[in-house]
Structure 1
Amino acid sequence: MQDTATLSAERLMPGVISYETPRVADDYCRWDDSGSWLLGYPFLPLALGLDELPGAHLVDLGCGPGDLTCWIADRHPIRTTAVDASAAMLDLARSQHPHPAVDYRLSLDNGMPFLDDGCADAAMASFLFTCIDDRKLMQILVDEVARVLHPGGRFTILMPNPDQVHDAAFEGFHRGEPGVRYRSGDTLPVRLRREDGSWASITNTYWARETFQEVLAEAGFTGPTTELTPLLADAYGVADPALIASRPWTAERERPPFILITATR
């Protein structure tokens, strides 16, 4: 049988990517995610202020295979409800990244009925909205996050930087096409390198930062909103030193590949 990592991108992932089949979920786990671990994931606890929230309840919306969820749980004395719409992803999370402080749950009709109103201290969504091509669905999900957060709770969205979209070539991924101007809700091509050196070609949704501001405001996030766009220089003392030293990270020195938008309930 042909190995998942060698399947053609066209056969594996046509259109805006969905992780609901085991084959696609498994291929996701083979992607080279080093750029996210350098300038994305390690900045989430900082944006959420988890060091100031011992014993907090964190909601991880779109948790995927659970590697980030467990990385955070290992470093902070919190409990996490990790939610995903993909049963295949949750199967991977439970088998590969079990954690006593993490409860993996399947979302139901884009909601979290297993969580009470105002029960969470913080929430995050990592690269979730690139996989959603419907603004109404985005609003439903953010509304649900607002429901489960108590007043004063923070919600951080980690996304590709919308300013870096015109053939943005970073370590491990290329995003967009030269000379193309994307509007919020447009689809755009993305090439992602797998750990074996092969490449996957997928399609994501482009969302402008203004769209996130609108959606958050409509959901009732009335507190201050902050944005963080880390560069390589910001990774020192935050990301793994061995990862920093492992590659030249040429583009990442001057162009921030990701953005973290944090809003307060």
Structure 2
Amino acid sequence: MGTDWKHSTAVADGFDAYDDLPERVLGYATVFDRLGEDVRTVLDYGCGPGKVALRLAEARDVDVIGVDISERMLEIAREVRPHPRVDYRRIESGRVPFLGDGSVDAAISCYVYINIGDLDVIRAIAAEVHRVLRPGGRYAVLDTNPDTTGVQFSTFRNGEPGLDYAKGQRRQVLLNRPDGEVLELSDYHWPRQTYGEVLADAGFTSVEYSTPVLGDIPGAQVAGTLLDTGRPAEAEAAPFLIVTGVK
């Protein structure tokens, strides 16, 4: 059985305490860039404790609808990361019925697909996002890079070194928290091709893949952090896969 993201308060609190340094430097910056121009409303499907939604509202002149299955995640988001341009809502059986067809300009899903072991559920999410996107709207999916599973990055490791994971196989996840504690989770291995197939099946076109490393993004070496000490793994291996499609 995978991690209980929906009901576990310990998981929600532990994930909130994790310092998402490489994610915000390499992952989120790339996601925001891939959304394109003329974007006024963005759906953050699987917003968790609101870290990405808040950064997006601060980085871009947009309104964000952050949605999640976990009441505890949404509680943290509303209490810790409120913003006048972010609206946090609950996902209902995988759907967002409070949003009309073609009602948002862009959408993102960060660390959602890897935490679902059922491809039919993932396909349903992609279809729901496709429904609420306007024609021409872009959808960006961010997950850990399946091609660098087992690599110890500055703050996390997905999977055990040396193991070749099969499609849909569970993996151990270790998140190093600033307090010295390690949050152990479990996710699922989805090859790069799976992401493209899921988006294409939902009706998305012009599917593109991005795997940034330090040096690809100006200013990515954050002074005084783990990314600024020696030669971090993020300088050689891409920790994240960002897949985008257009409705």
TM-score interval w.r.t. the shorter chain? over 0.9
> TM-score with structure 1 length normalisation?
0.88
Match of 1:30 among 6, 12, 17: 17
Report the alpha carbon displacement of residue 258 of structure 1 after superposing the two structures with TM.
Answer: 0.4
Match of 1:53 among 38, 46, 54: 38
Structure 1 residues without counterparts, runs of 5 or longer: 1-13
Residue 42 (structure 1) aligned with residue 29 (structure 2): yes
Change (3 A) 1:40 1:85: same
Change (3 A) 1:157 1:239: farther
Mapped to 2, the partners of 1:245 and 1:61 lie a distance apart of 28
CA shift digits 1:158-182 (9 cap, x unpaired): 11011001x2111111222233211
Mapped to 2, the partners of 1:57 and 1:168 lie a distance apart of 35
Residue 228 (structure 1) aligned with residue 204 (structure 2): no
Structure 1 stretch displaced more, 228-237 or 246-255: 246-255
CA contact (8 A) 1:38 1:243 kept: no
Q: How does 1:171-182 map to 2 (within 5 A)?
A: 171-182=154-165
Report the alpha carbon displacement of residue 244 of structure 1 after superposing the two structures with TM.
Answer: 7.6
Q: Helix, strand or coil: the match of 1:168? A: coil
Percent identity reads 36
Report the alpha carbon displacement of residue 211 of structure 1 after superposing the two structures with TM.
Answer: 1.1
CA contact (8 A) 1:37 1:239 kept: no
CA shift digits 1:201-238 (9 cap, x unpaired): 221111111111111111111x2111111111023246
Report the alpha carbon displacement of residue 17 of structure 1 after superposing the two structures with TM.
Answer: 4.4
Match of 2:7 among 16, 20, 23: 20
Mapped to 1, the partners of 2:235 and 2:31 lie a distance apart of 20
CA shift digits 1:125-156 (9 cap, x unpaired): 01111111110100111100000001111000
Match of 1:250 among 229, 232, 237: 232
Aligned to 1:120: 104
CA contact (8 A) 2:226 2:232 kept: no
Report the alpha carbon displacement of residue 76 of structure 1 after superposing the two structures with TM.
Answer: 1.3
Q: Which amino acid in 2 is paired with 1:205?
A: Y
Mapped to 2, the partners of 1:241 and 1:152 lie a distance apart of 38
Indicate the RMSD between aligned Cα atoms, in angstroms.
1.8
Match of 1:186 among 169, 180, 199: 169
Mapped to 2, the partners of 1:28 and 1:192 lie a distance apart of 8
Aligned to 2:187: 204
Change (3 A) 1:194 1:69: same
CA shift digits 1:232-255 (9 cap, x unpaired): 102324675565864335211111
Q: Helix, strand or coil: the match of 1:235? A: coil
CA contact (8 A) 1:232 1:253 kept: yes
